[in-house]
Amino acid sequence: MMRAPSDARNMQPIIRKRKPRGPARFPDIIRAAEIAGVNRGHLYRVLTGERTSQTVVRALRKANHPLAEVAARATSRSTRRPA
């Protein structure tokens, strides 16, 4: 007796279209975070001035990464209050 092939084997994968996104605010942030030895979230907070981190700035400058100057400006103008 032959069995009919199951529908699961014959199904095509569902391909969903993505919404177009705007330009990246900080291109190459993931590689820069790897260079600095931090995670992407921490580097994003440093670049936006939410946190300060001279260590991140030094690591990016040492690697001659373009985001180093963005981090330096954000770190120098940060309005973070001392705890």
Query: Whole-prediction pTM value?
Result: 0.69
Could you tell me which of 18, 66, 26, 59 has the C-alpha nearest to residue 44?
Answer: 26
Tens-place pLDDT, residues 19-28 = 888 999 999 9
The two tokens of residue 8 are: 């699961």
CA distance 9 to 41: 40
Q: Is the pLDDT of residue 81 over 90?
A: no
DSSP label at residue 50: S
Cα–Cα distance measured from residue 75 to residue 16, given in angstroms and rounded to the nearest whole number: 40
